Amino acid sequence: MSDIIKKLIKIIKDAGEVMAGAHSIDNGDVSSKEGSANFVTVYDVKIQELLMSEIKKAVPDALFIAEEKENDSSVLMGEHCFIIDPIDGTTNFIHDYRHSCISLAMFSKGEAVFGAVYDPYLKEFFRAEKGNGAFLNDAPMKVSSRKMSEAVVAYGTSPYYKSTLSEK
What digits encode the pLDDT tens for the residues 11-38?
999 999 999 998 666 666 766 666 655 6
Q: What is the pTM of this model?
A: 0.83
Q: What is the DSSP letter of 164?
A: H
* Cβ count near 76 (within 10 Å): 17
Residues sharing a CB contact under 8 Å with residue 135, sequence separation 6 or more, in sequence order: 125, 126, 127, 128, 141
Q: Which of 158, 11, 165 is nearest to 89 (CA)?
A: 158
Q: Are 92 and 43 in contact (CB under 8 A)?
A: no
The amino acid present at 54, given as its one-letter code, is: E
- Pairing mode, strands 81-88 and 63-66: parallel
**What tens digit of pLDDT does each residue of 57-116 get?**
999 999 999 987 888 888 989 999 999 999 998 888 888 888 999 999 999 999 999 999
Given a cut of 70, is residue 168 above it in pLDDT?
A: no
